[in-house]
Amino acid sequence: METLWQTLISGSSDFTLYALWPTIVVNITWLLSGLFCLWLDSIPSLRKYKIQHHVNETVEFWRVIRHSVRNKLISEIPLTFGSYPFFVWLGISKDLPLPSITTVLLTLAFCLVVEDAWHYFAHRTLHTRWAMDKIHYLHHHYMTPFGMASSYAHPLETLFTGFGTVLPMLILRPHLFTLLVWVVTKQLQATAVHCGYEFPWRPSRFLPFLVSASFHDRHHRRFNRNFAPNFVWLDRLLGTADEKNLGPRAAKAK
């Protein structure tokens, strides 16, 4: 791994390492994880795990792709490019040795907590009347979420909530390798909670403080509940959690 990393950073500019690489890895992750969710819809035996009966058609998939790419060019990528000088200025290291697995995991845990808090309050702000009518309505276009639609949002929303992904990097100043692992982890998590499936092997079944796809799916159906992206505790603490009858069986009952 360290040999590969040394090859990667050798001769690469700071712009390539701190701006281009995060952009590349997060968008490859978004595309592949979204396509994986689309593939799940083609397997009849998995329909019993689907939270809602509705299956979004191919035309919706292409609509999301077109909008999301445009949104990324307008907001997500400029946010990443705008952050890279701060990453360099703060001294985020790119040199060997690479951080240990323990360091990476502890950093990811911190990042998830910080991002969860930022996103929760930012998300609630987006549900004020003006912000909902002008900005956040776009993300709620799909009451039946699917993986690729995790990036279906207004550019201002992407900048506002997306800063929560950057914030823990500015606080901790981790190794560049950890930064790349973090943006991939966050994108996978965003896709997972929008996937539209509640599988028996989901992490939230064993770690019940994690947000599940059904928890977030309820938010798309009942807009003023379940705001947090990663953990359920802020919703529970602040009275915005709706955890009754979550999952595929609840969808059949409606």
- Quick one: pLDDT band at residue 252, thresholds 50, 70, 90? very low
- Asked if the structure places residue 89 within a domain, the reply is yes
- Asked if the structure places residue 1 within a domain, the reply is no
- Asked if the structure places residue 101 within a domain, the reply is yes
Residues 184-194 have pLDDT tens digits of: 999 999 999 99
* C-alpha span between 126 and 102 (Å, rounded): 36
- Asked if the structure places residue 53 within a domain, the reply is yes
Q: Does a cis peptide bond (omega within 30 degrees of 0) precede residue 78?
A: no
* C-alpha span between 254 and 252 (Å, rounded): 6
Query: Domain tally for the chain?
Result: 1
pLDDT for 224 equals 87
Residues 115-158 have pLDDT tens digits of: 999 999 999 999 999 999 999 999 999 888 888 899 999 999 99
- Asked if the structure places residue 27 within a domain, the reply is yes
DSSP the chain: -HHHHHHHHTT--HHIIIIIHHHHHHHHHHHHHHHHHHHHTT-GGGGGGBSSS----HHHHHHHHHHHHHHIIIIIHHHHHHHHHHHHHTT---SSSPPPHHHHHHHHHHHHHHHHHHHHHHHHHHTSHHHHHHTGGGGGG-SS--GGGGG-S-HHHHHHHHHHHHHHHHHH---HHHHHHHHHHHHHHHHHHTS-B--TT-HHHHSTTBPPHHHHHHHHHSTTS---SSBSHHHHHTT----TT-SHHHHHH-
Q: What is the mean pLDDT of the chain?
A: 92
- Asked if the structure places residue 2 within a domain, the reply is no
Question: Which residues lie below 8 Å from residue 16, measured CB to CB, with a gap of 6+?
Answer: none
**Predicted TM-score of the model (pTM):** 0.93
pLDDT for 143 equals 83
- Asked if the structure places residue 3 within a domain, the reply is no
- Asked if the structure places residue 227 within a domain, the reply is yes
* C-alpha span between 5 and 97 (Å, rounded): 10
- Quick one: pLDDT band at residue 52, thresholds 50, 70, 90? confident
Percent of the chain with pLDDT over 70: 96
- Domain of residue 30 covers 19-253
Q: Is the pLDDT of residue 214 over 80?
A: yes
